[in-house]
Chain A
Amino acid sequence: MFILNPHSGVPIYQQLIEQVRRLVAGGQLAPGTELPSVREMAQEHTVHPMTISKAYSLLEAEGILERHRGKPMRVAALRRNQSTMAARLKQLEPQLEALALSARQLELEPQDVIDQIRKKLGGKT
Chain B
Amino acid sequence: MNSLAVQVSGLHKSIGPRVILDGISSQVRPGDVIGVIGKNGAGKTTLLEALLGLSPPTAGSASIFGENSLHMSAGTKARIGFVPQQDELIPMLTGQRQIELTAAFYSHWDGALLKRLAENWEVPLDRRIAVLSGGERQKLSTLLALGNSPDLLVLDEPVSSLDPLARRQFLQQLLEIASDERRAVIFSSHIVSDLERVANRIWILKDGRLLWDGDTDELKNSITRLHIRATRELPATIQLPGVLILRRATDGRTATATVRDLSHESLPVLEQQLQAQIEVEALGLEDIFLELHS
Asked if A pairs with B, the answer is: yes
Other-chain residue from A11, A50, A54, A101 in contact with B220 (beta carbon distance below 8 A): A11
- Scan residues 1-44 of chain A and give those whose CB is less than 8 A from a CB of chain B: 6-14, 39, 42-43
Which of these, B193, B200, B217, contacts A7 with CB under 8 Å?
B193
Chain A window 35-60, contacts with chain B (Cβ cutoff 8 Å), 1 for yes, 0 for no? 00001001100111111001000000
Q: Chain A residue with minimal CB distance to B277? A: A104
Cβ 8 A contact of B279, one of A46, A49, A101: A101
Answer yes or no: B22 CB below 8 A from chain A CBs.
no
The listed residue with most A CB atoms (<10 A of its CB), out of B217, B224, B287, is: B217
Judged by a CB distance under 8 angstroms, whether A105 is at the interface is yes
Assess whether B282 is in contact with A43, with CB atoms less than 8 Å apart. no
Contact with A along B124-166 (1 / 0, CB 8 A): 0000000000000000000000000000000000000000000
Given A6-B193, A9-B287, A51-B200, A46 and B168 touching (CB < 8 A)? yes
Would you call B197 and A49 a contact (CB within 8 A)? no
Q: Report B208-242 CB contacts with A as 1/0, cut-off 8 Å.
A: 00000000110011001000000000000000000
Tell me, rounded to whole Å, the shortest Cβ–Cβ distance linking B230 to chain A: 13
Among B168, B198, B281, B287, the most chain A Cβ lie within 10 Å of the Cβ of B198
- B200 vs chain A, min Cβ distance (A): 4
Least CB distance from A104 to B in Å reads 6
Q: Which residue, B31, B172, B175, B199, has most C-beta atoms of chain A within 10 A? A: B175
The verdict on A8 contacting B284 (CB below 8 Å), with A50-B31, A105-B277 known, is: yes
Per-residue B-contact encoding for A76-109, CB less than 8 Å = 1, 0 else: 0000000000000000000000000100110000
Q: Which residues of A contact B285 (CB under 8 A)?
A: 7
Majority secondary structure, A binding face: helix
Bound-state Cα–Cα, A8 to B277, Å: 23
* Chain B, residue nearest A38 (CB): B179
Q: Select the residue from B33, B200, B279, B283 with max chain A CB neighbours within 10 A.
A: B200
Query: What A residues does B178 contact at CB under 8 A?
Result: 48-49
Q: A39-B179, A49-B179 are in contact. Are A9 and B281 (CB under 8 A)?
A: yes
Docked pose: A11 CA to B31 CA in angstroms: 19
A47 touches B197 (CB 8 A): yes
Query: Counting chain B CB atoms within 10 Å of each CB, which of A6, A8, A13, A48 scores highest?
Result: A48
Residue numbers in B under 8 Å from A10 (CB-CB): 220, 282
Q: Are B175 and A48 in contact (CB under 8 A)?
A: yes
**B93 within 8 Å of A (CB atoms):** no
Which B residue's beta carbon lies closest to that of A42? B175
Provide the B182-209 mask, 1 if CB < 8 A to any CB of A, else 0: 0000000000010011111000000000
Who on chain B is nearest to A9 by CB? B282
Which B residues lie at the A interface, using CB under 8 A? Answer: 31, 33, 168, 171-172, 175-176, 178-179, 193, 196-200, 216-217, 220-221, 224, 277, 279, 281-287
List, sorted by A's number, 11 A–B pairs whose CB atoms are closer than 8 Å.
Answer: A7-B193, A7-B284, A7-B286, A8-B284, A11-B220, A11-B221, A46-B198, A47-B175, A48-B175, A48-B199, A51-B217
Given contacts A7-B285, A48-B175, 18 further A-B contacts (CB under 8 A): A7-B193, A8-B282, A9-B224, A9-B283, A9-B287, A11-B221, A42-B179, A46-B175, A46-B198, A47-B175, A47-B197, A47-B198, A48-B198, A48-B199, A48-B200, A49-B179, A51-B217, A105-B277
